[in-house]
């Protein structure tokens, strides 16, 4: 299995609080992605990164920010969490230039009350 660790695995928090999710990889892949998974919506891309300090928005980026200061870490931040952000969040990595597929972590289940 690809070396991807997401933390925390579960989190419950209150509306209006800041939340940061972490994705750590040991594969030295250049590309990293954050998705959210909701029933009936499948996997939707929030943000992605194509290198250290290089990030871009996906299709559902409102209310989220990301940072990547090191190749191995990609952080997703909810500045002020809302109940609509209750979801399961997945990180994925890819080595695009060697045509490797995306590999996913096991997710973070986030509940915002």
Partner 1 sequence: QQQVKQSPQSLIVQKGGISIINCAYENTAFDYFPWYQQFPGKGPALLIAIRPDVSEKKEGRFTISFNKSAKQFSLHIMDSQPGDSATYFCAAGDRGSTLGRLYFGRGTQLTVWP
Q: Which residues are at the interface with partner 1 (CB under 8 A)?
A: 4, 31, 33, 40-45, 48, 50, 56, 58, 90, 92, 94, 96, 99, 101-107
Query: Which is nearer to partner 1, 16 or 58 (by Cβ)?
Result: 58
Between 10 and 17, name the residue whose CB sits nearer to partner 1: 10
Q: Which residue has the tokens 């290198």?
A: 51
Q: Which two tokens stand for residue 58?
A: 């996906």
CB of 24 vs partner 1, minimal distance in Å: 14
Distances (CA, A) of 67 to 1, 74, 80, 100, 109: 25, 6, 16, 23, 20
CB of 85 to partner 1, least distance (A): 19
Give the Cβ contact number of residue 61 at 10 Å: 17
Nearer to partner 1, 53 or 99 (CB): 99
* Minimum distance of partner 1 from residue 94's CB (angstroms): 5
| CA dist., res. 42 & res. 56, Å (int) | 20
């Amino acid at each position: 299995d690809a070396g991807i660790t997401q933390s925390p695995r579960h989190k419950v928090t209150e509306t209006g609080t800041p939340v940061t999710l972490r994705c750590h990889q040991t594969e030295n892949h250049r590309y990293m992605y954050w998705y959210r998974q909701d029933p009936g919506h499948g996997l939707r891309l929030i943000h992605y990164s194509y290198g250290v300090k290089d990030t871009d928005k996906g299709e559902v980026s409102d209310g989220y920010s990301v940072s990547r200061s090191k190749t191995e870490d990609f952080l997703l931040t909810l500045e002020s969490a809302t109940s609509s952000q209750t979801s399961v969040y997945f990180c994925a990595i890819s080595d695009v230039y060697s045509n490797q597929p995306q590999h996913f972590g096991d997710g973070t289940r986030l509940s915002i009350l």
